Amino acid sequence: MPQMMTIGEIREQYVSQWVYVEDEEKNEYREVVRGRVVCHDKDEFSFFLQLKKLSFKPGEILHTDDPLLYEDVEPL
């Protein structure tokens, strides 16, 4: 099982990539602050093909270049 990572760690490890995060924790503004990266890819089409093949539970799709994806947000 993938380890729990903060948004800062996810952005650092998966630069300019699409990531799918499960078991996410959110702050009061419903921003993801940490979670487990299940799949990732630089190419959007390839990423969604991977995601389609997974039997996954609800989670969040993020792009690490999103300027609204802050590194130091706090959980509730």
Structure tokens at 19: 């990531």
Would you state the pLDDT for residue 58? Answer: 74
Return the sign of the alpha-carbon dihedral for residues 40, 75, 29, 68: negative
Q: What is the pTM of this model?
A: 0.77
Structure tokens at 71: 């590194």
- The pLDDT tens digits for 32-58 are 899 999 999 999 999 989 888 887 667
Structure tokens at 32: 């993801």
Would you state the pLDDT for residue 43? Answer: 94
* pLDDT band, residue 18 (cuts 50/70/90): very high
* pLDDT band, residue 15 (cuts 50/70/90): very high
Specify the residue for token string 């990266």. 37
